[in-house]
Structure 1
Amino acid sequence: MYTLGALSIATKQPSRELMNKPPVGRTVPLITNNMLRNILAQSMYQIVVLLTFQFRGESIFGLNEKVKDTMVFNIFVLCQVFNEINKRKFEGENVYEWICKNKLFLGIIGITIVVQVVIVEFLNKFANTERLNWGQWSSCIGIAAVSWPIGSQVVMCML
């Protein structure tokens, strides 16, 4: 999953604005303050959600253990997919303006989602997962999609 994400980022054409900027020195941190804020916000959200599901999922949501574990796995992967889109552009730029222009990125996101569905729905014995119903899939997608507004809020706070 991360290899495909790295490939999609590496193949993105740099903007004119970026190409016109002077090179940065060796002493400039690799992770900027804006990146660090985004990493911390996304990490905190995912930690809270995943730990809540892991330790209280059975009692709060009325799930059996295997479904709960599958949903934790599914939410984690889907959070990464949504975060791939969020992290493509930040620093106050529109995250979505390029989305239809980059076919490789769309293909990688599509492959990741298809593989996730196959793992959860069809490779139960291999992946030790349980099939999820439409409501559970919707919950996983909805919970993971919250990373979009979190990413947007982090960007808005940085401006």
Structure 2
Amino acid sequence: AVMMLWVNLIMDTMGALALGTELPGKELLDRRPYKRNASLVNRIMWRNILCQSAYQLGMLYYVLLHGAGLFGVPFGSEKHFTLVFNAFVFCQVFNEFNARSIGNDVSAAFRGLARNGMFAGVIFFTCLTQWALVQYGGEFTRTAPLTAMEWAETVLLGSLSVPVGVLMRCLPPFEENPANFASTPLLAADDSRRARERGRKPEAVLPALFAAFVPTAAYILFRFYKLNPDIASEVIDNFKGSTGASEL
């Protein structure tokens, strides 16, 4: 029960405090007003929700069913469920960066962070409280302390929500339904001009895809090294040997 209350606090109260204090950007101020009967959740929001839900459900389902063997803990133990809980919480923490912008700007997650001290403060407070609950909650929160390695892995699993956020912005739909906006000839013409000016630039997509690939590849390599230390050590030794031979 305490875990659920804490998750609700992160996603509702703390999330609203962090995101509600974001300063409006130029794109928001230039956007046409919505109609009174416009859908509350537009199709871009649905895309974002479905992509994040698919990753988080898949990852947590895997950790729940196979995480015990993966982390070397008893299945169904307090530590096993703590690992699932920690990964889930950090999925929400990192998804708050994605939620700073619901559009298709692939770099929006981290742009302008210095302008919103409240957002940084909320993230810091959330991480600090999560650490205290896990390490010292005991019977009150029914959590078991995690090792530094277990912390690193669960935080890394949660941080993959950011690469997922980058990749989902490269998927259609790329525009909101025009029927959701108030329309006059002047507003429509001006909006079309701005849309052309701010069109998707292909050169901005490749760096975003690279940024999404790096942490994912790092986790795969880390997990492979941990599960296959002999093979990984042999690969490293061979690499060092070939490097030394080439230098000679």
Compute the TM-score of the two structures, normalised by the length of structure 2. 0.61
2:38 to 28, 34, 37: 28
Name the SS of the counterpart of 2:146 in structure 1. coil
2:95 to 83, 96, 109: 83
Q: How do residues 7-156 of structure 1 correspond to structure 2 at under 5 angstroms?
A: 7-64=17-74, 65-93=77-105, 94-156=108-170
Residues 67-119 of structure 1, C-alpha deviations (whole Å, 9 max, x = no match): 11001110111000000011111312222111122100000011100010000
Q: Note the C-alpha offset of 1:13.
A: 1.6
| Aligned residue pairs, count | 159
Q: Does 1:6 align with 2:16?
A: yes
Name the SS of the counterpart of 2:113 in structure 1. coil
Runs of 4+ in 1 over 3 A off after TM superposition: none
Q: Please, which moves more after superposition, 94-103 or 69-78?
A: 94-103
Q: Note the C-alpha offset of 1:150.
A: 0.5
Report 1 or 2 for greater relative contact order, CA contacts < 8 Å, sequence distance ≥ 6: 1
Q: Please, which moves more after superposition, 40-49 or 55-64?
A: 55-64
Q: Note the C-alpha offset of 1:54.
A: 1.5
Q: Is the 8 A contact 2:22 2:100 kept in 1?
A: no
1:86 corresponds to which letter in structure 2? N
Q: Please, which moves more after superposition, 136-145 or 28-37?
A: 28-37
Q: Is the 8 A contact 2:135 2:146 kept in 1?
A: yes
Distance in 2 between the 1:92 and 1:75 partners? 26
Distance in 1 between the 2:151 and 2:99 partners? 24
Gaps of 5+ in 2: 1-9, 175-248
Distance in 2 between the 1:3 and 1:118 partners? 19
2:88 corresponds to which letter in structure 1? F
- In percent, how many aligned pairs have the same letter? 33
Distance in 1 between the 2:62 and 2:104 partners? 31
Q: Note the C-alpha offset of 1:62.
A: 2.2
Superposed CA RMSD: 1.4
